[in-house]
Structure 1
Amino acid sequence: MSTDYYEVLGVPRDATAEQIKKAYRRKAMKLHPDVAGPGSEEQFKLVQEAYEVLQDPQKRAVFDRGGDPTGHGGGFDGFGGAGFDFTNLVDAMFGGASPFGSTSRGPRSRTRRGQDALVRLRLSLSEAVFGVTKPLDVDTAVVCPKCHGTGAQDGSEPVTCATCHGSGEVVTVQRSFLGDIRTTQACPACRGYGTVIPKPCQECSGEGRVRTTRTINVRIPAGVADGNRIHLDSQGEVGPGGGPAGDLYVELSVAPHEVFRRDGESLEMTISLPMTAAALGTTVPVRTLEADREDLGEEAARLDVEIPAGTQSGTRIVVPGRGVPRLRGAGRGDLGVTVVVRTPTKLDHQQKDLLRQLAEVRGESEAAASVQTAGGKGMFSRLREAFGG
């Protein structure tokens, strides 16, 4: 033979199949007419011929013995008398991952894994803080109860596709200036399965699954926050053909509470006190978040908060261990109680006289307002912090 295919691809005679494929890929991408122009057609055809021979063990053996593996005496008409398999070019140039679709051989399975699903669940603040088990209705796909995932009616079963004869693929031939180009694609009759169902199940129309609403119980651990997700393995949609179910993700949202506000692991609340109680000090009973739970008694739902004498408006009193349980740890955060002091707006004559007497005793009859230093925090600053501003 006058043509040395090893020399055409630039590989040694003992080159492996992988070395031949890599060499062909480089040459084909460089000499393709769309890249190098029409003048490279002959060289591109020769590179293709070399690859067609050397990648086939039988043809390569004939060539190594000095025979003619192409059957046309060394010339190359188009891409060979049998035509050019475009799928081989795609496999070689893209490593088997065709940009035009799958080039895998053989039928694909009817049974596939189902998709993952995402649903949202609304919680009250007490449910998020203390944990709860809630029923959740999920619209999803389940195994068809009539055919049990086969997709066929009782007494029938899939049969071999008459179009592709069970291969799941068909070959089309297209004429071009490069010769006959063969492409392989999924069989349109069986959609690549290699079999067809002559009598599909009337319940699922041959899918092997149906849509329904089912109820699952979701356990919410104590301490979850708005936006957290709970992963439930194999609780998503059942796959086609009764395939394994995907996973279910439950995204949590927490409704605002009329009394409490969450700040990380702390619970915050605000109480209002008369001016006299803040000045003299007192003990204030408050309702805790535990009051929202029906399984706890009155003792857990009530808390006495000590207000020191002289407490200023905006003061935050910390009650340890009455906040949010730590999601990944032991113990609970704190309960923050912010005090707002109420100044009386309507006073009778007796009350005014008493306040004037108090002002005289304290030397505040003509007291001027004091200016807070830049480094300190005044009442309004403390109030803004207390209310999250």
Structure 2
Amino acid sequence: MKDMRGLVYGGPGNRSWTEIPDPAIQDPRDAVIRVDAVTICGTDLHILGGDVPETAAGRVLGHEAVGTVIETGGGVAGLVAGDRVLASCISACGICRFCREGVYGQCLGGGGWILGHLVDGVQSEYARIPFADLSTYKLPEQVSDESAVLLADILPTSYEVGVLNGRVQPGDTVVIVGAGPIGLAAVLAARLYSPAHIVVIDKAESRLQAAKMFGADTTIVAGGEDPREVLLALTGGLGADVAMEAVGTPQTFELCASLVRPGGRIANIGVHGKPATLHLEDLWIRNVTITTGLVDTFSTPKLLDMLVADRLDLSHMITHRFPLEDFMPAYDVFADPVRTGALKVVLSR
């Protein structure tokens, strides 16, 4: 672990790939991993934009990685040095009430979303993983690092917070606002439930083309066609059964509220840093259900099984690849998808 480096948050708009202390076991339930593949999340951009004030300057960012176990604390069961693992974006103590209910994102025992948020994350050469036996998943040989890293966050987030919270059913009309990685993963996850229509809205034509490749039936350029007119025409004047917000802005949330049918569901997935107006004067009479959520990652084993069984095709999600030391240009590419066409970027050794 000589010349250890990581991507350090220096406050809003400030990041650097710089030398940092080597990670070390701090608790018997910790493990230290060598980071073999890691990616950047839209949430990291929200942190850099100042939308997540709990993240302090000096924090190493990142919560999605595949790595090799280097060392484990004395309280870690089931992991040994040399194991290849997926490091989950959510850490779970396994003891508190929420963990016992499978709601790991709300862990009261020091877990939840802490990596790259409240403790140093995984955008580094090596990383400390708290609650390692419950917050990592051993990977089968046939699953590549690149596919596995997409199960750290975006697939379980879209599946749990979008599809399951939105109660997608066969024959539904589903509209997804935002065709970034989360929105595209929501297309993949929604298709598992055989909806009649999947409609995707985004301002970037390249991302709408990607949405079609992932299985969207209809795409709408934001600022072009009136999405409400398109949805009403598709559904005989009713609107969407499920509207998923996958951006995290007031405008996109309010758009979802305007597209959902009476008795429909709005599933908010995006990370919000500003207030959104809830138009109860329109919604109170329409029996609309609104859900929010932080991913719990209870679905990760099931998604991993589907990946092994070739039921999830993630081959088109990664558009850019970089060496591990090229985090600064990788962030530049990921943060400007309209220009670069970036979906997910992966950095690896």
- TM-score of the pair, normalised by structure 2: 0.18
- TM-score of the pair, normalised by structure 1: 0.17
Q: Which protein shows a greater Rg?
A: 1
Q: Larger relative contact order (C-alpha < 8 A, sep ≥ 6)?
A: 2
